[in-house]
Amino acid sequence: MTITPIFLLLLSLTFVPFFAYAGTGNFGDPCNQANSRLQVGTYQFWSECNLVTYCASNQTCAHRGCRRDEFPFGYPPNSKDLPPKCSKGQFCPDEMHECQDVMPVGSPCQMNRDDQCEGPPNHRELEDLTHRGLNVNGSVCLNNVCMWANVTLGEDCVVENTAYTAYTAGSEFIDIVSRDNCRVGLYCDAQQLKCMQEREEGEQCDADKERVSIFLLLGICGSDAAFAHHAGKWVYALVVIGMTTAVVGTLWGLFWLHGKQRAAERERRLQYWKEQNAFHQNLNRMKEVARASIMSFGNLDGLGTNSIPRSFMGSN
Ligand SMILES: *[C@@H]1O[C@H](CO)[C@@H](O)[C@H](O)[C@H]1NC(C)=O
Ligand SMILES: *[C@@H]1O[C@H](CO)[C@@H](O)[C@H](O)[C@H]1NC(C)=O
Ligand SMILES: *[C@@H]1O[C@H](CO)[C@@H](O)[C@H](O)[C@H]1NC(C)=O
């Protein structure tokens, strides 16, 4: 009875990636390109074909021609059918049908695919070295148009706001990510559409774009929960202190416990020794009494102590 729900849960967990990222069409199955779309909330590309095929122009599922990940979903380990990764100067589109050349400024690009756009000549200067996903090689895809992230302070900029559905334990919330073509270190103000200086965390913000971290937290610039957190030095210090305290505390606790046990053991032995000693003394006294009474009895009776068996008198 209880096995069925658990089994179903495991089954659903196993197939979550398949349900979430692709359709069910196998190679050669019919599909409709018009049904390919970005998923609501996650903006992940979806087609009617499965994880190893794409919906080709002849409306059947065909083998994929490129991959974006080192180990893509859907292929068995060490698969020989793994499509190639695209070389430098090329990209693998969301459909993953073939590698294509990066496109010049002004070309149409797919959502959040900055890598589909050709980098600017000064790409070294413009690229996002902070790894916050601001641009790729200095180029950025905004509202499906290739641009360069080269706009300087106070100049006109383009901004694209996207509402993602984000999940926390037991609930979901809307995470608005704002992307723009300002240089790294600036953000595009939504009202004035001008590049502004990013504010530091903790300062007053009125929108999540005034980020150093793209997130609005009660009007204070905070960190986006979706981004990696970097702990301050004091956190490391606290962790080290905590660990040291725990280790020393454990050792001290064990030493103390052991000491108590040893003391109890010593007490027990002392007690035993005292009892044994008292017992011995009692025995000696009894022997003395017995000898004395036998002596007096012998004197009365005329019998010598020699007639009493030695064993009765003990060894002394
Ligand atoms: C459909 O197109 C794909 C890719 O070009 C090809 O591999 C496949 O054989 C074609 N299918 C049919 C039925 O023509
Ligand atoms: C960045 O863009 C420049 C200019 O288009 C190009 O020469 C270079 O190969 C690109 N670098 C990468 C890592 O794609
Ligand atoms: C900035 O990038 C745009 C394309 O987004 C380009 O047309 C323009 O020439 C660039 N400006 C500079 C100063 O490089």
- Ligand 2 centroid–CA 92 distance in Å is 16
Least confident of 43-52, 271-280, 298-307: 298-307
Least confident of 21-25, 105-109, 238-242: 21-25
User: Residues 31, 101: one domain?
Assistant: yes
Instruction: Establish whether residue 60 lines the binding site of ligand 1, counting it when its CB lies within 6 angstroms of any ligand atom.
Output: yes
User: Residues 171, 251: one domain?
Assistant: no
Q: Are 45 and 95 in contact (CB under 8 A)?
A: yes
Residue nearest to atom 8 of ligand 1 (CA): 62
User: Residues 244, 193: one domain?
Assistant: no
Over residues 230-241, the mean pLDDT reads 90
Over residues 160-173, the mean pLDDT reads 87
Q: What tens digit of pLDDT does each residue of 22-62 get?
A: 889 999 999 999 999 999 888 999 999 999 999 999 999 99
118 in any annotated domain: yes
User: Residues 180, 247: one domain?
Assistant: no
CB neighbour burial string for 200-211, b if at least 16 within 10 angstroms, e if fewer = eeeeebeebbbb
Q: Who wins on pLDDT, 219 or 242? A: 242
Number of other residues whose CB lies within 10 A of the CB of residue 311: 7
Last residue of a domain, one of 136, 167, 197: 197
Over residues 228-241, the mean pLDDT reads 85
Q: Which atom of ligand 2 is nearest to the CA of 121?
A: 4
User: Residues 19, 127: one domain?
Assistant: yes
- Counted domains in the chain: 2
Q: Which atom of ligand 1 is nearest to the CA of 63?
A: 7
Give the chain's mean pLDDT.
Answer: 83
Q: What is the pLDDT of residue 166?
A: 86
User: Residues 242, 161: one domain?
Assistant: no
217 in any annotated domain: no
Q: Who wins on pLDDT, 146 or 18? A: 146
User: Residues 145, 242: one domain?
Assistant: no
Instruction: Establish whether residue 88 lines the binding site of ligand 2, counting it when its CB lies within 6 angstroms of any ligand atom.
Output: yes
17 in any annotated domain: yes
Q: Is 80 left (phi over 0), alpha (psi -120 to 50) or beta?
A: alpha
313 in any annotated domain: no
Least confident of 225-229, 231-235, 289-293: 225-229
User: Residues 181, 247: one domain?
Assistant: no
Residue 136 binned pLDDT confidence (cut-offs 50, 70, 90): very high
Over residues 157-174, the mean pLDDT reads 89
Domain span at 266: 237-275
Cα–Cα distance for residue pair 15/38, rounded to 1 Å: 19
> Nearest to residue 112, comparing CAs of 81, 143, 89, 87?
143
Q: Which atom of ligand 1 is nearest to the CA of 57?
A: 2
Q: Are 151 and 185 in contact (CB under 8 A)?
A: no
Cα–Cα distance for residue pair 212/215, rounded to 1 Å: 8
Q: In this structure, which amino acid lies at residue 272?
A: Y
19 in any annotated domain: yes
> Nearest to residue 287, comparing CAs of 246, 260, 315, 267?
315
224 in any annotated domain: no
314 in any annotated domain: no
Query: What's the farthest any 2 CA atoms get from each other in the chain?
Result: 140
Least confident of 2-6, 107-111, 239-243, 286-290: 2-6
Out of 31, 55, 60, 95, give the residue to mutate to test ligand 1, the one with the largest number of ligand atoms within 8 Å of its CB: 60
In this prediction the pTM is: 0.63
